[in-house]
Structure 1
Amino acid sequence: MSVLTPDEILAKLNNVHKRGSGLVAECPVCHDDHHLYITQENGKLLMFCQKCKAKYPEIIKALDMESSGSWQASAPILPKKPKDHGKQIEEIRYTYRAPSGKPEYQKIRRKFEDGHKIFSFCYTDADGQVKYKKPDGCDNLYNLDRMAAADPSTVLYIVEGEKCADAMTAKGFLATSTNTGSQKNLKLSDTDRQTLEKFKRKIIIPDNDDPGVEYAKAWERMGAKIFPWREIWPEIQKKQDIADYFQAGGDPEKIRGWKYPAMEFSEEFFSGMDRADMIKTELFAGLQAIEDPLERQQAESLAAFRAKELGISREFTKNQKAWRAAQAQANQDSKNCTKFSGQPLSLECGDWIADDGGVRKMEASGNGDFRYQWASPIPILPTEILMNQETSMEKIRLSYYKPDGWRSCVVPREVAANSNKIISLANMGIEVNSDNAKSLVKYLACCVAKNPAVLPRTKSISHMGWIGDDFVPYTDEVSLDSTDEYGTLIDSVAEKGTLSGWLKAVKPLMGNLYLRLAVAASLSAPLIKPLGALSFAFHLWGGTGAGKTVGLMVAASVWGNPAPGKLLQSMNNTVNFTTGCAATLGNLPFFGDELQTIKSKFDNYDQFIHQITAEVSRGRMDQTGRMQMQKSWKTAFLFTGEEPISQTTSGGGVENRLIEIECAHKVVESGPETVQAITGQYGTLGPAYIAKLQEKKRDGIDLRAVFNDYHKRLLRMETTEKQAMAMGIMMTADEVFRMYFASELPALKVEEVMPFLKTTHEVDTAERAYNLVIDLVAQNNENFFYSIKNDYNGEQYHHAPVREVWGKIDGNHVWIIKRVLEKLLSDNGLSFRAVSKKWAAQGRLIPTKQGKFAGYKSVNGIYGYFVELVR
């Protein structure tokens, strides 16, 4: 162990002078010139700085001396006059930053009158204390933050010293330096190396001296090209550097003009390449290194032509994309990124600390203390930007960690960008409140802004169903961006078990025509949009115990979880809820049980059926007076109930949109066993069925021809156009199901389904209105004048109204006051004007001589406008 003498130590110290019984000197750690106290006690040398609190080991280390820490005085301690460098004429502080831009430490450069320079370091620790040294494990490259933010294709210039780096930066170059100047052996941290690796072109511009040569060789071993000083500045003198070059008026463009020799991407070059050559990383790196956009595009086009000649266009494109993604990730790894355990992806997060302890950053308070600014006490980050293909609106997926694992939610961008609105996400388990809301908004905005190449941007729609040739949710090309308002419904469209297991449970039940038609109605929903048909309702009705609910659950199990509250909805909800569900389902069917529970909300079901089959939500205005976006759907609605939907008074528009089946016998015989089976096997037929529809589209097989055939055959049975359309789609869906999944089933016949369809005569509004009026006249004959012949004595009996006068009955003719007739029809949802013309054409209404449907006349001495009907 070496023993240091006082002379050896004092020779290294500056500004040593006597004070009291001891000595005072400049501290080699903090460079304060009068707070380092040196004393001798019991044969040991004691040194302590009252300014930076440095002790003996730190002082010896700063002096670059090795010592056992003690010495034996061989002579009295005598002050030694330090070498006088004259007055300090310059002090410059260079700030070294983390890749995020956060300051890590400073390098202090002091220069004296005789040219002597002193270098030191300092940083502020987590407690706010200034330490006069480099922090442990610090990064050693200057301008790390600029390097981290730069494109990998940028030329990186390496110089000696921060002064030269700043001179380069001022001229628009990306430049760096180690914090110890020229060294034979480069001391670089892992972060330094990762950041350097992303740059394919590195040029070292050393000082023009011997240490500079050694420094350049060290960087050359790391792949840097040595800059040829004599070619650019022939008159360069010994020890001059790049800062001197600029100070002497040197042209920056001469430095920019010296580049890596570029690859010659000519047509001849590519003609000699084989398939393996075309997917090598060297080719992709060379193409990326071309700075001129036009030249790069021309070279990439030649590469694409060659790939096409070799028959590997798709593979060439895939490999090029993979290389670019790897470059982006390498760039990402060199930056300050999120470090959550099990995180979905890693994002650059600026100066935020994002780890398992949460998200925060250091900030200085007014009194100079440092504290954490918290954005979130739990891990959270944006993981996807969803771009709606129909509205052009963007939403953002936030992933966050809770004790049960990672969760995610999709919210509009405006929610994540507004400190008042983001508090609503607390309902989803995100730890946000009025204290940290602003910080969380800033953190999320930082992650989005700094990661345009890393953060996935996905095409999306706000409903399930068709988007082009894709069908959500059975596609990877388009995502669902619907918010959590209908989250339970969306999550219910899921798979459990196997398709073979589901078919094994359901196929034995398909001999029941009621159940088979219910499954066909369920499968018909995705066909409505591509076939240009209209939404319709399918209704199973009858007394309790008929197995209607179980049958509906079987139909729902095609697409997902058929349990009540999942895909199977109770009808004890508002119409807005039902239409909201339909808009979210889009082209998947809606399942509603016990329809009669909504009857109290309406006089009949007509208004409800009109609203759900209108295929668009009601128009509304927002608080600013702008029209809100209306939701739409094209689907089938499947209901059960204890009574029919259509009534005698229902209009043709309602009956045309209905396929109603009265369950004369059970829909499902073994209810409990069936429920047990389909709650363990569900949602597997849906994606397989959609895949078959997509195959038919790709193979050019025209489902429309199948539908048109059924439609024409049904129309021949004198049903209505819309009834034939609805049943035709159901039979087409059944045909696809039978063809691919249940070939042993017999094909449905038109004769089998006709009992469930209305004829044109039954749906005719004029016909139903006429029958209604005739019935009402008979029911209220006391309000008419009429004569009756007594069958016993042949005398005529004349009746006159006592309270109300509606008109007169004479044989098979009825004269009825027009206002009375209009009210009778209106009370039952019908219109006299809508039916009068057809009645006249059928000879059921006698027009006046002027061709009008009502005339002013006297009936038994009572004058008024009367309509003459023929019974």
Structure 2
Amino acid sequence: MRDSTLPDKVAGAEPEIESYSLADFQSGTEPYDYVYQFHDDGFRLQQELDAMEKIAKAVGYRGFKKTYQEYVKSISILTNIAPDGCTQFTGQELNLQCGRWRADNTGVYLQKDNGSTEYACTHPIAPVERLVNVDTGIVKTKLAFRRGSGGWRYVVRDRKTLASNTAILDLADDDIAVTSENSRLLVRYLHDVDSLNYDDIPTRMSVSRMGWIDQSADLAFSPYIEDLVFDGESNFKRIYESIKTHGEYESWIFTARAARLMSLPARVMLAASFASVLIKPVGVLPFFTHVWGGTEAGKTVGLMLATSVWACPDKGNYWQTFDSTEVGLERTAGFLNSLPVCLDELQTQADRKSFDKTLYKLTEGAGRTRGSRTGGIQHTEYWSCVFITTGEMPITGALSGGGAVNRVIEVECKDKLFTNPREIAQKVQLNYGFAGMDFIAGLQKSGGVEAAKGLYQKYYSKLAELKDITDKQIGAAALLLTADFLATQWIFEDGQELTVEDIKPLLKTKKEVSTQDRAYEFLMDYFTQNKNKFCGESDDREVWGKYEDGTFKVLPSVFDRACADNGISGKALKSWMRDNDLLDIGKGFTKSVWINGMTKACICIRQKELPEDMLGENPLDDEEIHLIPND
């Protein structure tokens, strides 16, 4: 139906569109009058615009749509109304009241009394959804916008950003036409439309992370919730989109069953992937499962297999490399929350000493409290997951803190993980994401979590019989065994679950975890390598002290430097050595020793006596061994 408010030149438009000439487009209005009569029917309008543009090009006229936009502006000036006071975007999903604003396919603008226009945005844009985060309660707005001939696109931003003339400039990175010139008007427009349509804009619950939802009574798990919307940062969009099902479930199960039979490291990596989602419901601290060994052992394929439980295993989608900052790792862990964090190539970590601290912090399950640039503090990240990592070396060293060592299950690859790594990789790249969803469904069933807790206690008690293993190592191992048992029952159905005997060799003893014991052994090795400097007196070489009667008598400056250079607490080590009768002391922690012609206070460290079972046998004491006489 024609709009009776239009000028006569529009109301009299005729649909003889095939007869238009170049002059009609350049100096007339008939083609524009004809198209405009369909402005109330978005679908028909788009069809007529496309058809007229082809006719214009056929007669040699370029830029019909741009000229049409100017025509619409002139019509608005003549009529001086905003049709129905509502948005008039083609293909809009909501018909929104916009008050004094004009909002059509040319953009969003204000019509001033003198006939000029002020643009808030030069293309269609409007708020279409309100998202309330289930964890924080923070409200975000979902914006719909369209540029050129493309379809509608969407961005989600917190309301604080959309309320600031400066912060809203970040939308420019999303291809929204906002500059320092029009940002003030865009903020006003979005605020007005949101206020005028508060009850009409739908509100939905949202989440910015993966994992268990605390407030849920039915054990809801993101992203496996139909009515929950993702409102997280765009930085994690690739990871989020990789968490999905693809291919055939049966094909994945066949591949995973075969892989489980090939090596212990492959079985442990799969178990760790499932174990990650048990940490929160069972109540265990996060821990690392680190698989290490030489090149071409198949470690990366093992990481791909573990990733395929939940997501696409292609590099750079879900799993990442170690080449990240502490803050980056914290944010990734906070986003994945209950899902495993998978990291490849430990050797890319340049500073191993600082990474020990990062490892300890990551296994605490909470990020650092950091100040905000605008005052106050930033949102603190929390997570409850397993970190599955690979590398060419162990993740902990001789001088790693006991807290870090205690939180890692390390698996050495002495042989290749798979007999056919290329085939395994190809299969999991084509089929993935089903097992994780199935595992969560098992836990969500009545009695699922209770069964997991019961199994965990059973395995924990069994492992606790190994008297020399720390509680944290037992806790991590018990969770791996629990997860693998459940996955075997619910998914693999092959009777190949891990046993206590399988996992026992991977656990560290209390002595191996002890920071001071390892620090003592390191210094003994270090001083033994430099034994020639413990000569007591010399004019041509550096003297570190004296070695006699199985004791390194070390100058305090040498001891302090050796400790400081290797991250050892010298004070704590001296106390430990004194308590373990490894320090020959006089006054305090030192004893007077004659060094280079003078008396010096030295730290006198005894070497441990080797147990009898570590002393080698003298072959000459064996009657069956005979010397071969010279010819």
- With the length of structure 2 as denominator, give the TM-score of the two structures: 0.76
* 1:844 maps to which of 556, 574, 582: 582
Going from structure 1 to structure 2, the CA distance change for 1:657 and 1:696 (only over 3 Å counts) comes to farther
Distance 2:371 2:181 in 1: 34
Instruction: Provide the secondary structure at the position in 2 that maps to 1:475.
Output: coil
User: Percent identity of the aligned residues?
Assistant: 33
Q: Say if 1:784 and 1:801, in contact at 8 Å, map to a contact too.
A: no
Q: Which residue of 2 aligns with 1:632?
A: 382
Alignment counterpart, residue 531 of structure 1, candidates 259, 262, 282: 282
Greater Cα radius of gyration, structure 1 or 2:
1
Aligned partners of 2:276 and 2:384 also within 8 Å: yes
Distance in structure 1 (CA, Å) of the matches to 2:529 and 2:472:
34
CA contact (8 A) 1:488 1:566 kept: yes
What does 1:724-739 correspond to in 2, within 5 Å? 724-739=474-489
Q: Residue in 1 aligned with 2:542?
A: 804
The residue number in structure 2 matching 1:439 is 185
The equivalent position to 1:360 in structure 2, one of 100, 108, 120, is 108
RMSD: 3.1
Aligned 1:122-141 pairs, distance under 5 A: 126=75
Matches of 1:407 and 1:531, distance apart in 2: 41
Query: Residue 555 of structure 1 aligns to a residue in which SS?
Result: helix
Shift of 1:633: 2.3
1:514 aligns with 2:262: no
State the secondary structure of the residue aligned to 1:578: helix
Determine the C-alpha separation between the residues in 1 that align with 2:204 and 2:591. 68
Query: In the alignment, is residue 569 of structure 1 matched against residue 320 of structure 2?
Result: yes
Match of 1:854 in 2: 590
SS at match of 2:152: strand
Partner secondary structure for residue 605 of structure 2: strand
User: Does the CA-based 8 Å contact 1:409-1:483 persist in structure 2?
Assistant: no
Question: How far did residue 498 of structure 1 move?
Answer: 4.1
Counterpart of 1:822, as a letter, is D
- Distance in 1 (CA, whole Å) between partners of 2:155 and 2:230 is 11
**1:453: which partner in 2?**
199
> What letter matches 2:395 in structure 1?
I
- 1:809-842 per-residue CA deviation (whole Å, 9 max, x = no partner) reads 3313343333432332332221132233332332
Q: Secondary structure at the match of 1:529?
A: helix
CA contact (8 A) 1:784 1:800 kept: no
Q: How does 1:280-319 map to 2 (within 5 A)?
A: none
2:603 maps to amino acid: V
Q: Deviations over 1:400-447 (max 9, x none)?
A: 235553322211212222233223212212233345433332222122
Is contact 1:595-1:641 (8 Å) kept?
yes
Matched, 1:864 2:600: yes
Match of 1:552 in 2: 303
SS, match of residue 679 in structure 1? helix
- Corresponding residue to 1:691 among 424, 433, 441: 441
- How many angstroms does 1:511 deviate by? 1.3
Greater relative contact order (Cα 8 A, min sep 6): structure 1 or 2? 2
Instruction: Tell whether the 8 Å contact from 1:386 to 1:460 is kept in structure 2 after alignment.
Output: yes
CA shift in 2, pair 1:425/1:812, >3 Å: same
Name which of 818, 822, 828 aligns with 2:556. 818
Cα distance per residue 1:607-654 (max 9 Å; x no partner):
442343343334433345543333232222222222222222222222
The within-5 A match list for 1:182-331 is none
- Does the 8 Å CA contact 1:384/1:456 hold for their aligned counterparts? yes
- Inter-partner Cα distance in structure 2 for 1:473 and 1:545: 34
Partner residue, 2:19: none
Contact 1:536 1:635 in 2 (8 A): yes
CA distance in 2, matches of 1:542, 1:551: 12
How far is the alpha carbon of 1:858 from its aligned partner? 5.5
Residues 571 and 772 of structure 1: CA distance in aligned 2, closer, same or farther (over 3 Å): closer
Question: Would you say how many aligned residue pairs link Structure 1 and Structure 2?
Answer: 529
Distance 1:352 1:676, change over 3 A: farther
2:245 paired residue among 488, 495, 498: 495
Map of 1:713 onto structure 2: 462
How far the C-alpha of 1:551 sits from its partner, in A, is: 1.3
**Residue 184 of structure 1: aligned partner:** none
Residue 20 of structure 1: aligned partner: none
Q: Does 1:769 align with 2:500?
A: no
Counterpart of 1:426 (choices 148, 162, 172) is: 172
Relative distance call for 1:774 and 1:576 in structure 2 (3 A) is same
Deviations 1:541-569 (A, max 9, x none): 22222221111111111111111110121
In structure 1, distance between residues paired with 2:253 and 2:127 = 41
Contact 2:443–2:449 (Cα < 8 Å) also in 1: no
Contact persistence 1:845–1:870 (CA under 8 A): yes
Matched-pair contact (CA < 8 Å) for 2:102–2:109: yes
Aligned residue for 2:619? none
Instruction: Specify the code of the residue in structure 1 equivalent to 2:281.
Output: P
Q: In the alignment, does 2:150 pair up with 1:385? A: no
2:158 maps to which of 385, 393, 412: 412
Structure 1 contact 651–829 (Cα < 8 Å) conserved: no
Note the C-alpha offset of 1:706: 1.6
Contact residue 396 and residue 412 of structure 1 kept, 8 A: yes
1:399 to 118, 121, 144: 144
Structure 2 matches for 1:607-622, cutoff 5 A? 607-622=357-372
SS of the aligned residue for 2:178 comes to: coil
1:868 is paired with a residue whose SS is strand
Q: Which residue of 1 aligns with 2:628?
A: none
Find the aligned partners of 1:685 and 1:381 in 2 and give their Cα distance. 40
**2:309–2:432 CA contact under 8 A, matched in 1:** yes
Q: How has the CA–CA distance of structure 1 residues 812 and 405 changed in structure 2, closer, same or farther, with 3 Å as cutoff?
A: same
Q: Is the 8 A contact 2:300 2:344 kept in 1?
A: yes
Question: Deviation of residue 518 (structure 1)?
Answer: 0.8
Change (3 A) 1:453 1:625: closer
What SS does structure 2 have at the residue aligned with 1:397?
Answer: strand
For 2:330, the aligned partner's letter is T
8 Å Cα contact 2:356/2:400 also seen in 1: yes
Instruction: List gaps (5 residues or longer) in structure 2.
Output: 1-6, 9-73, 608-631
CA distance in 2, matches of 1:479, 1:503: 30
Counterpart residue type for residue 840 of structure 1:
R
- Match for residue 703 of structure 1? 452
Equivalent pair of 2:122/2:177 in contact (CA under 8 Å): yes
Q: 1:684 to 1:560 in 2, by over 3 A?
A: same
2:109 and 2:121 in contact (8 A); partners too: no
Matched, 1:597 2:348: yes
CA distance in 1, matches of 2:439, 2:85: 47
Change (3 A) 1:541 1:359: same
Residues 40-82 of structure 1: per-residue CA shift (max 9 Å, x gap)? xxxxxxxxxxxxx99xxxxxxxxxxxxxxxxxxxxxxxxxxxx
Question: Counterpart in 2 of 1:783?
Answer: 533
Query: Secondary structure at 2:581's aligned position in 1?
Result: coil
State the AA in 2 paired with 1:443: Y
CA distance in 1, matches of 2:205, 2:368: 27
Q: Distance in 1 between matches of 2:309 and 2:482?
A: 16
Within 5 A, what are the aligned runs for 1:2-151? 126=75
Q: Is the 8 A contact 1:470 1:477 kept in 2?
A: no
Query: When you count helix as a share of all residues, which structure comes out higher?
Result: 2
Q: In structure 2, how many angstroms separate the alpha carbons of the residues matched to 1:860 and 1:362? A: 91
Which amino acid letter does the alignment assign opposite residue 555 of structure 1? A
